[in-house]
Homo-oligomer: A and B are copies of this chain.
Amino acid sequence: MTDEPSLGVLLFLPYRHLEDRVLAAVQAAGHPITLAQARVFQRVDQAGSRLTTLARAAQVTKQTAAYLVDQLESAGYLERVPDPRDGRARLIRITAKGRAVVAIARPVQAEIEAEWTARLGPRRSAEFRKSLLALGELTDPFAIPGRSHDQPGPAAGAG
Which residues of A are in contact with B by a Cβ distance under 8 Å?
1-2, 5-28, 32, 35, 42-47, 49, 57, 59, 109, 112-113, 115-116, 119-120, 124-125, 127-129, 131-136, 138-141, 153-159
If over half of A's interface residues share one DSSP class (helix, strand or loop), that class is named, otherwise mixed; here it is helix
The answer to whether B119 touches A138 (Cβ under 8 A) is: yes
Q: Is the CB of B7 within 8 A of A18?
A: yes
A43 nearest in chain B by CB position = B1
Q: State the number of copies, please.
A: 2
Report B-chain residues with C-beta under 8 Å of the C-beta of A127.
Answer: 124, 127-128, 131
Q: Which residues of B contact A47 (CB under 8 A)?
A: 2
Complex Cα gap A32–B141 (Å): 23
Taking CB atoms, residues of chain B closer than 8 Å to A1 are: 43-46, 49
**Would you call A8 and B13 a contact (CB within 8 A)?**
no
